[in-house]
Amino acid sequence: MAATVPRPTGRDLRVAVPLHQELLPDVEDLFGHLPPLNVTRMFANTGDMAAPVLGFVRAVFTAEGVDPRLREILTLRTAWILSVPYEWEANVPMARNVGVTDADITSIATDGPVTGLDATANLIYRATDEITNDVAVSDLTLQELLDVFGPTLTTKYILEISWFNLLSRFLASTRVPIDQGAPTSDRSSPV
């Protein structure tokens, strides 16, 4: 069985996730075609920021050249490092749907360096650790990213890692509750 991120304790205080009927009509239209995720409804809570945030989410999940498997590895690793159960639980099913195995997930869910993945996944894993823990990738990791992916994809992967750091911190700070009913179990992305 795959690992789970420990759930924080003592967090009864949270930002209320708006109910469907509480969404403004123009915001509701933005989110109507998406699965009913608490995170998207929390984005709707931002009002005038909702459309640009959703646009960025679409870009993250549809970026040309970004390998969905690597995206899910970096997403899960960020969730693990930052102890964000919502992000972990929402993305484990999507990760499996794009080829991340239970053995990969177990490797991702470690507190030390990961070596059990293929070379490219280990590189993405290392870049994720460095950005999440140290703010930026090291010169060595940046050079390896450039050697493997070139400048455009390297920049995209750095942006993806940075986005999932932002998202994890947003989820943890607003205390978005975990979705019921596994709404991402048959998906490879939320968009």
HSE value, Cβ hemisphere, 13 Å, CA-based, for 21: 0
Residue 120 lies in domain: 68-174
> Residue 131 in contact with residue 81, Cβ under 8 Å?
no
**CATH for 146:** 1.20.1290.10
Closest by Cα among 77, 69, 60, 130 to 94: 69
Q: Are residues 94 and 39 in the same domain?
A: no
Q: Are residues 50 and 107 in the same domain?
A: no
Instruction: Point out the domain boundary residue: 62, 89, 113.
Output: 62
Is 15 part of any domain? no
Rounded-to-integer distance, Cα 126 and Cα 113, Å = 8
Q: Are residues 106 and 162 in the same domain?
A: yes
Per the structure, the count of domains in the chain is 2
Rounded-to-integer distance, Cα 77 and Cα 97, Å = 17
Q: Residue 136, SS3?
A: coil
Work out the burial of residue 159: count CB atoms within 10 Å of its CB; fewer than 13 is exposed, 13-18 middle, 19 or more buried.
middle
Q: Are residues 40 and 85 in the same domain?
A: no
- Tokens 């700070």 belong to residue: 173
Q: Are residues 27 and 74 in the same domain?
A: no
Q: Are residues 42 and 116 in the same domain?
A: no
pLDDT in tens, the chain (191 residues): 456 555 555 557 888 777 766 766 666 666 666 777 888 888 888 888 888 998 898 899 999 999 999 999 999 999 999 999 999 998 999 999 999 999 999 999 988 887 789 999 999 999 999 999 999 999 999 999 999 999 999 999 999 999 999 999 999 999 988 888 767 676 666 66
Is 162 part of any domain? yes
Rounded-to-integer distance, Cα 151 and Cα 159, Å = 12
Q: Are residues 147 and 128 in the same domain?
A: yes
Q: Residue 117, SS3?
A: coil
Q: Are residues 35 and 123 in the same domain?
A: no
